[in-house]
Amino acid sequence: MAKIMGIYKYPHPVLREKAEPVKNINQEIQDLIDSMAETMYRAGGIGLAANQVGILKRVIVFDVRDAKEDRNLNVLINPEITQCEGEIVHDEACLSVIDYSAEVKRNAMVQVKGLNRDGKPITINAENNLLAICLQHEIDHLNGILFIDHISHLKRSIYTRRIKKLLRQNKIQIEP
């Protein structure tokens, strides 16, 4: 049964860990997918990586459709970017990076291969759109990389200082 999971916030160390490949798509992974999907939709996000809910497995869920449209949940297990080219800049935010967004430079075109929730190989091609950005963002999470790692050192330092101050004042929590 799907449950709402807690989302870890920066600077929690789990967000910096590299997720392990899924070797067996069993009921535990199916339940994880369902719970991640419910968590993503409830939080108003368009993507969620397992790291963000404290599970170090290479699983992402995403749905870049407008919230007014029908849901179109996508799942990728063990995703990897196999081709990329070009450049696009887009304003990004993250469910794990609170109260912050920034313009991030990404590849304009990506080809991503992985497994669907049934274990069947799939390939997704995305170019110059939100899907291309979302795929790169979520796969970065699986590698312990946050979108703020793609911004200038100065901007990242200012954000980090602000978050650490809020933590010291007990105004935010980084664990669910």
How do residues 33-58 score in pLDDT, each as one tens digit? Answer: 999 999 999 999 999 999 999 999 99
pLDDT-based confidence at 31, cuts 50/70/90?
very high
Domain residue ranges of the chain, discontinuous segments joined by + = 13-168
Q: Look over the chain and give the mean of its residue pLDDT values, rounded to a whole number.
A: 96
pLDDT-based confidence at 165, cuts 50/70/90?
very high
What are phi and psi for residue 49, nearest 5 degrees? -105, 150
Average pLDDT rounded to a whole number, residues 160-172: 96
The first and second tokens of residue 149, run together, are: 């790692």
Q: Cite the active site residues.
A: 138
* Residues recorded for the chain: 176
Dump pLDDT digits (tens) for 149-158. 999 999 999 9
Predicted pLDDT at 16:
98
Report the helix count and the strand count for the chain, using DSSP H and E.
Answer: 3, 7
Predicted pLDDT at 68:
65
Dump pLDDT digits (tens) for 57-111. 999 999 998 766 678 899 999 999 999 999 999 999 999 999 999 999 999 999 9
CA distance 147 to 150: 5
Residues with Cβ within 8 Å of residue 147, at least 6 apart in sequence: 92, 93, 94, 97, 102, 104, 137, 140
CA distance 46 to 138: 10
* Single pTM value for the model: 0.95
CB 88 within 8 A of CB 81: no
Predicted pLDDT at 67:
65
Other Cβ atoms within 10 Å of 80 Cβ, number: 14
The number of C-alpha atoms within 13 Å of 155 and in the hemisphere containing its C-beta is: 11
CA distance 10 to 78: 23
CATH assignment, 13-168: 3.90.45.10
